[in-house]
Structure 1
């Protein structure tokens, strides 16, 4: 997609969306923005992004509309609600939901988009705030292969591991696999640090030994140092992780799959959120486990 000929719209300028919009702008794309709280987009507006008063107005101005919001209910309202994206997008436009959302909803959006002459992709991401900031996101994509091929140049501005997974909903199902793996791994990372402290070891020194061996993981290398430093600022919110786990468990139930590790992780994170940590990063699970 030629930056001189493609107008990109982004709905949602939070932890992830803000960095993504910045990458598109630096690549030369004209970028339009909508966010419920305009002040969160002010830095981007100061750099030359264009503000729109609603998702529908944004859709009217753009060739590619990308959404990165919080919950499936937000996605449904933005796409399918009155004066939403699908109702206002120009025929031939591409709509890309990068929120971690419901596979069922992704299929519903695809069906409605197709009926309106639009191309739809579900493309959730992994990599957190660091991956978004450094344009190293993993992007998992569902929808038509032709639509994927058309927008691949845009994906390449924000990610490095970009994989087409299959028909509508496949991107969201893949993200569920990602979140399931993270959930149990995070419990292990937290418990390893708590064990190190209780045994009188220096957790930072322990980390040097275990992060490059069989125990190695993204969470161990990137989030364990934050836990040790007492930095629980969100790269990904606890409340959004709970949402993801609920989606995964519901989808698993529909497929008659049992996920006991995920169920345990969800119960622990719900305790964490109830203690006032819902807006902390997912690695704040350390706070709960260290006090048990």
Structure 2
């Protein structure tokens, strides 16, 4: 099976190069043209025509909708859409209906793991769909990922991804506040992170972001604007409207966005604390 990638951002571009190295890439397209990219096509329709599987990795539900509306005429029996953008469950339901109406199949496949994980083919997929389809796509998705969890249906996979990102956003805000608290007391970063490394609060996020926080390096692994989009989507899910920590971290991310940090890593939350 050959795959086409639509959306060549921080993650999609890395995945497409992995597919190309494995001789599995049939086409690639991005809204901002990258004509020198391997297997570049002039339109998303051309990617969908050339590929057995179309993987969508774009910013948000409106961007996914725009792509799907364009590629629908090129879909049909034998085609599969793997939707890997972070979206809400209601949008997932809408997109699945549109794709299935053509006779094509649909797999919700959001992921976790930022740019370093993608570069090492260590992404983790949360898959929502039929077990038979997941098994069929396993060898292809294994090209860019270390782990693939079958979560349940498409809406459950989309929801779990938002839940995971909410947890990360809250951890980042708490880590920022605790580090600034220690710095204001004259405690060095060496002492702070050394102590945190032996504390129950140490996490994979701490390990990933420690070098960035120490160096003041906010080059994006996962940007403020994308995390803000995700927590906004989470806050609109029925039953989540009154989550106090979700509301707080959404406001913090919105403040970072307004302060001009939208394209920086979401570790830039610490910059709001002075």
The bucket for the TM-score relative to the shorter chain is over 0.9
Q: Give yes or no for contact 1:68–1:99 (8 Å, CA) kept in 2.
A: yes
Q: Residues 129 and 30 (structure 1 numbering): CA distance in 2 closer, same or farther, change over 3 Å?
A: closer
In the TM superposition, what is the alpha-carbon distance from 1:114 to its structure 2 partner? 1.9
1:58-137 maps to which residues of 2 (within 5 A)?
Answer: 58-79=47-68, 81=69, 84-137=70-123
SS at match of 2:154: coil
Q: Give runs of ≥4 in structure 1 deviating > 6 Å.
A: none
In the TM superposition, what is the alpha-carbon distance from 1:257 to its structure 2 partner? 5.9
**2:216 aligns to what?**
230
**1:284 aligns to what?**
268
Name the count of aligned residue pairs.
274
User: Is the aligned partner of 1:15 residue 2:10?
Assistant: yes
**2:243 aligns to what?**
259
Using the size of structure 2 for normalisation, the TM-score is 0.95
Q: Residues 160 and 212 (structure 1 numbering): CA distance in 2 closer, same or farther, change over 3 Å?
A: farther
In the TM superposition, what is the alpha-carbon distance from 1:28 to its structure 2 partner? 2.2
Unaligned runs of 5+ in 2: none
Cα separation, 1, equivalents of 2:71 and 2:78: 13
SS at match of 2:73: helix
SS at match of 1:33: strand
Cα separation, 2, equivalents of 1:284 and 1:256: 25
Using the size of structure 1 for normalisation, the TM-score is 0.90
**1:54 aligns to what?**
43
Q: Residues 29 and 179 (structure 1 numbering): CA distance in 2 closer, same or farther, change over 3 Å?
A: same
Q: Give yes or no for contact 2:108–2:128 (8 Å, CA) kept in 1.
A: yes
**1:3 aligns to what?**
none
Q: Give yes or no for contact 1:189–1:224 (8 Å, CA) kept in 2.
A: no
1:131-280 maps to which residues of 2 (within 5 A)?
Answer: 131-251=117-237, 254-255=238-239, 258-280=242-264
RMSD: 1.5
Unaligned runs of 5+ in 1: 1-5
- 1:90-148: per-residue Cα shift (whole Å, max 9, x none)? 42111011100121111112122222111101111111111111111111111222211
